[in-house]
Amino acid sequence: MERVRISIVGASGYVGGELLRLLLRHPYVEIAQVTSESHAGEPVHRVHPHLRKATGLTFCRMADLKPCDVLFIALPHGQVAPRIEAFAALAPVLVDLSADFRLRRPEDYARWYGHPHPHPEWLSRFVYGLPERYRAELRGARAISGVGCNATAAILALWPLVQADLLDPERPVIVDIQAASSEAGREPNPGSHHPERHGAIRPYAPVQHRHTAEVRQALGREGVVLSLTAVDAVRGVLAIAHAWPRDRIAEPELWRIYRAAYGEEPFIRLVKDRQGVHRLPDPKAVVGSNFADVGFAVEEETGRIVALCALDNLMKGAAGSAVQSLNIAMGWPETTGLDLIPVYPA
């Protein structure tokens, strides 16, 4: 079989590095070009030290891109939408990992991103690249939007409860999210400076986090709010969702519901043991892999359900889900190139 030719726009960021880690070992593809405006002409390993000896590629400029089969776009938010027609002219299949095409309704985009979408007609052409939620739509898709890492953790924790229509519609679900530092990308900023971030437990967006929109869209439910805190880890997101059921529910019934929802999923692991250090999801156990660990607990006294999801923000929360979605879109076995076992402990 001839390999599909893939180019990556904006390949010098962390998501770009992670896409390369996956696609350089993917048996059905080959990397044609990788772009970086600030590193054009430099070997990829100058920026991505892990890729030394794994690739001899050199960054080129976006202007030098040639047509290819699949174009991955890993540019910062807001830089894709204005160029979408140009990107579409380069490849029949687009996978955009920015936030520009995650929302379906132009009014949602305008509300959460503070300005009208420059190409609203494209919003409905994209499929949200979360196979556990949109697998059917991803088959044969030609435009796939990447997922928000925090949103993915929240959605995967809650989807079985929503799908089973278990939750009290009157009471909002509150999702506390704890996130690692690679989430904010490669660009240094005062908050990412090591002396400031090391050991921090820093409320970042206790209200009005933008990923709220993706979560509500995927769950089909307005009553969800997020709260984001930054902690001292490089990879990982943990979502802790506090939800109130219509009626008291016991843990065995929740087991049934989560198993029904995720039992066949190749990358979801149900983690809920009675004891042990690893009895509930912890992003540390999925580092470097495409697994999302999902678990739950019920507070007998109050009925509160706590639904948890831990994932690697650069994998299941970005590059991993994107490749998984591409596999589905192209009709390849869904786990191709993604059957990596987490690196533990790391």
Residues with a catalytic annotation lie at 149
Taking residue 200's Cβ as centre, other Cβ atoms within 10 Å add up to: 15
* Nearest distance in Å: CB 49, a copy of itself: 4
Distance CA 125, CA 11 (A): 24
- Alpha-carbon torsion 308, 312, 318, 319, what sign? negative
Which of 97, 231, 322, 330 lies at the binding interface for a copy of itself (CB under 8 A)? Answer: 231
Nearer to a copy of itself, 99 or 177 (CB): 177
Q: Segment 203-222, which members bind a copy of itself (CB under 8 A)?
A: 203, 206-208
Using CB under 8 A, pick the residue from 1, 63, 136, 341 that binds a copy of itself: 341
Positions in 150-189 near a copy of itself (CB under 8 A): 171-172, 174, 176, 178, 180-182, 186-189
Quick one: 58 or 192, whose CB is closer to a copy of itself?
192
The residue type of 203 is: P
Query: ∠152-155-160 over CA atoms, to 5°?
Result: 140
Residue among 234, 246, 255, 260 that touches a copy of itself (CB under 8 A): 234
Residue 98 labelled as part of a binding site = no
Residue type at position 268? I
Piece of 76-84, 125-133, 154-162, 274-282 that binds a copy of itself (CB under 8 A): 274-282
Among 36, 98, 289, 290, binds a copy of itself (CB under 8 A): 289
Cα distance between residue 154 and residue 238, in whole Å: 9
- The interface with a copy of itself within residues 41-70 (CB under 8 A) comprises 46, 48-54
The pair of structure tokens assigned to 122 is: 């494209």
Phi, psi of 298 (to 5 degrees): -120, 135
**Tokens 């995650």 map to which residue?**
102
Residue 42 neighbours by CB under 8 Å, 6+ apart? 36, 58, 59
In sequence order, the β-bridge partners of residue 310 are 238, 293
Minimal distance in Å, beta carbon 146 to a copy of itself?
19
Q: In degrees, to the nearest 5, what angle opens at C-alpha 41 toward C-alphas 38 and 44?
A: 80
Three-class DSSP category at 177 = strand
* Number of residues located near a copy of itself, criterion CB under 8 A: 92
Site for a copy of itself contains 21 (CB under 8 A): yes
Query: 150 a known binding residue?
Result: no
Radius of gyration of the chain (CA): 20
Nearer to a copy of itself (CB atom), residue 193 or residue 259: 193
Binding to a copy of itself by residue 238, rule CB under 8 A? yes
User: Interaction with a copy of itself in 253-272: which residues (CB under 8 A)?
Assistant: 269, 271
Q: Is 13 annotated as a binding residue?
A: yes
Q: Tell me whether residue 12 is annotated as binding.
A: yes
* 159/241 Cα distance (integer angstroms): 11
User: If binding is defined by CB under 8 A, does position 306 make contact with a copy of itself?
Assistant: yes
